[in-house]
Amino acid sequence: MSTQSATFPATAPASAGVLLPAFTLWWREVVRFYRQRARVVGVILSPLLFWIVLGSGFGTSFHSGQGAGQQHYLDYFYPGTLVMIVLFTAIFTMMSVIEDRNEGFLLSVLVAPVPRAAIVLGKVLGGTTLAAAQGLIFLVFSPFVGIHMTLGSFGLIVLTVFLVSFALTALGFAIAWPMDSTQAFHAIINLFLIPLWLLSGALFPVSKASEWIRWLMYANPLTYGVEALRTLMYPEAPSSFSFAFSLPASILTLVLFALFMFGLAFALANRRTTKPAA
């Protein structure tokens, strides 16, 4: 079409690549979140409430049910609560995929010369940042539950929180991408994501569960996130597993979980369809 390039000024911009669009989608996700105060407060306060009320209640009701020796239940429940904050933030952030689709925002991104990988990366990293930030904010309560972190264990906690955030956000993206209603998304949360958390060792130790539940828990990748955090926070407390599983093995499991989820999200977003788009 050389005749046309003469007629029209060369206006096509240079390749946008992957990083710039991913950055800008990440930026929007973060800015948008912190401009909605109610979301920020809700995502911190509800698990905090949950932790104190449920933790205190369980702690006194089921003394024998304590997982880890003489550990107080509020202490035991602490890493699980952190994972809950991460889960809620990650999942609810990805609800924006559905909102973006129902508004025209996602359409305007899809018709831009942006690789789908950039869209997935930007969205997922945006959600990851928010989820990890909210989770790490919760760490300010750690002195009250007797957690003493070294610089090394703090670094590993940050890494674990990041991996869990990334994997759960990618999972949320993969669930939200084919959906067109937030109601359906809520159904999935109740049916699938809450059980995922309940069976992660957040509430009760794996070793104390009945056998078939135990296998479900070992199959749940989130279990390794909770276990890694608990090991890092309470190095002296016994493992909640019924067999020895090292910290590096837990973190490696999380890395694989995160990669798998991202791959799944990418594969879903990369389909072009002949169906009515948005």
Residue 41 binds other proteins (CB under 8 A)? no
Instruction: Choose between 116 and 230: whose C-beta lies nearer to other proteins.
Output: 116
Residue 4 binds other proteins (CB under 8 A)? yes
Binds other proteins (CB under 8 A): choice among 61, 69, 243, 275 = 275
Q: Interaction with other proteins in 103-122: which residues (CB under 8 A)?
A: 103-115
Residue 13 binds other proteins (CB under 8 A)? yes
Residue 37 binds other proteins (CB under 8 A)? no
Tell which residue, 175, 180, 179, has the closest CA to residue 196: 175
Instruction: Choose between 9 and 152: whose C-beta lies nearer to other proteins.
Output: 9
Residue 190 binds other proteins (CB under 8 A)? no
How far is Cα 51 from Cα 139, in angstroms, rounded to an integer? 13
**Residue ranges of the alpha helices (H) in 145-202?**
151-176, 182-188, 194-198
Question: 């997922």: which residue's tokens?
Answer: 124
Please state the closest distance from residue 137 (CB atom) to other proteins, in A: 21
Residue 183 binds other proteins (CB under 8 A)? no
Length of the chain: 278
Contacts of 33 (CB under 8 A, 6+ apart): 39, 40, 93, 130
Which two structure tokens, joined as six digits, stand for 271?
A: 């389909």
What counts of helices (H) and strands (E) characterise the chain?
Answer: 12, 0
* Binding region for other proteins (CB under 8 A): 1, 3-4, 7-9, 11-17, 20-21, 23-25, 27-28, 31-32, 35-36, 101-115, 178, 180, 269, 271-278
